[in-house]
C-alpha cells in the first residue's frame, strides 16, 4: 500500500521521514473552515484534503492521509497568522495560558474513510513583551497555527505540554498509528 500525504506541510513530511515511512506527497488545494467547533473544523479540513487527493489520483492501493492542525483558546480557533501583527496578537493571547492544539486526521483507504482527532494541551510560559516581540521578529510564526513552532525556537515559549508532542508539531502520530498500525510494519 502506498502512503500518500495530502499536505504541503514540511513538518508533516519530516515526521513521516522520522518514522522511516516511505510516502508520496500530493498537495490538496481545498477551501478550509476557519471557525467553529475546533474538533469539527480540523476533522472537516482533514477530510476535505484526503478526499480531494483521493478523487484526483484514486484510492486503490493507497492510504491517503489528510491532516489539519489548529490552536484553540476561549472558543476561538487560531489559524495561521495573516502577518506579524496578527502573530503578535495571537501570542499575546496565549502568553501565560493553557490552550489546546487540535488535529484532525482523515484516512482514505481503498475508498473507505476514517476520521480521527487528537488534542494536546499546551501551557505557555509568562513572557515579557520584549520576548514576544523578539520571537515574532524571528519569523517562525509564518505558516504556523497559533503563530509558533514548538520544534524550533518556539520551544522557549512553552512551560509544559500534556499529550502528543508531535501533534503540536503538526501530525498526531499516536492517533495515526492507532488508526493505521500497519504503518509501523512498513517502516524502513
Helices (H), the chain: 10-18, 38-57, 84-94, 129-138, 165-169, 173-179, 182-186
Q: Is 164 marked active-site?
A: no
How many whole angstroms separate alpha carbon 135 and alpha carbon 121?
21
CB 116 within 8 A of CB 105: yes
The active-site residue, picked from 68, 74, 129, 178, is 68
Half-sphere exposure of 127 (CA within 13 A, CB side): 24
Active site residues: 68
Amino acid at each position: 500500500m502506498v502512503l500518500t500525504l495530502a499536505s504541503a506541510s514540511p513538518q508533516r513530511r519530516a515526521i513521516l521521514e522520522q518514522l522511516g515511512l516511505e510516502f508520496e506527497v500530493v498537495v490538496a488545494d481545498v477551501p478550509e473552515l476557519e471557525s467553529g467547533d475546533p474538533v469539527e473544523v480540523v476533522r472537516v479540513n482533514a477530510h476535505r484534503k484526503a478526499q480531494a487527493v483521493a478523487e484526483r489520483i484514486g484510492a486503490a492501493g493507497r492510504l491517503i492521509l489528510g491532516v489539519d492542525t489548529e490552536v484553540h483558546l476561549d472558543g476561538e480557533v487560531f489559524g495561521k497568522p495573516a502577518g506579524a501583527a496578527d502573530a503578535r496578537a495571537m501570542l499575546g493571547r496565549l502568553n501565560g495560558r493553557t490552550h489546546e492544539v487540535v488535529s484532525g486526521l482523515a484516512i482514505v483507504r481503498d475508498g473507505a474513510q476514517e476520521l480521527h482527532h487528537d488534542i494536546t494541551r499546551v501551557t505557555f510560559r509568562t513572557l515579557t513583551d520584549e520576548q514576544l516581540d523578539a520571537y515574532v521578529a524571528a519569523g517562525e510564526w509564518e505558516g504556523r497555527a497559533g503563530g509558533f513552532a514548538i520544534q524550533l525556537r518556539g520551544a522557549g515559549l512553552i512551560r509544559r505540554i500534556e499529550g502528543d508532542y508531535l501533534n503540536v508539531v503538526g501530525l498526531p502520530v499516536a492517533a495515526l498509528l492507532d488508526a493505521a498500525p500497519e504503518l509501523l510494519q512498513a517502516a524502513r
